[in-house]
Amino acid sequence: MTLNRAFRLRTVAAEGMLIDTRGGVARLDKVFRLSPAAAWLWEKAYGLDFSESDLVAWLCEEYDVSRQDAENDVRDLLADWKKYGIVQ
């Protein structure tokens, strides 16, 4: 899967925010707040073709988290990203 390049990661008040820029205009009704780990994953995956297992492995390498917790978190994150068209 890949990230939808219409979304841009921006930092607003020290928070990672994904902003939908389809049509060349920032759609402020389509803004998603990301946890620091989710923002880190976005930056790591941007421009790459990746799998769910890649995201899990990256989380386990970067953070002190069990594989099971990483799998659960990535599953939830991808469900949201798929729901809103953030991943393709």
pLDDT digits (tens, 9 = 90+) for 26-47: 776 678 999 999 999 999 999 9
pTM assigned to the model? 0.88
Amino acid identity, position 50: F
E-assigned strands of 21-85?
A: 27-34
Amino acid identity, position 45: A
pLDDT digits (tens, 9 = 90+) for 57-77: 999 999 999 999 999 999 999
The Cα–Cα gap between 19 and 51 comes to 23
Q: Which helix (H) or strand (E) holds 61?
A: helix 52-62
Ordered by start, the domain boundaries in the chain are: 7-83
User: CB-based contacts of 87: which residues, under 8 Å, 6+ apart?
Assistant: 1, 2, 3, 4, 78, 81
- Mean pLDDT of all residues in the chain? 92
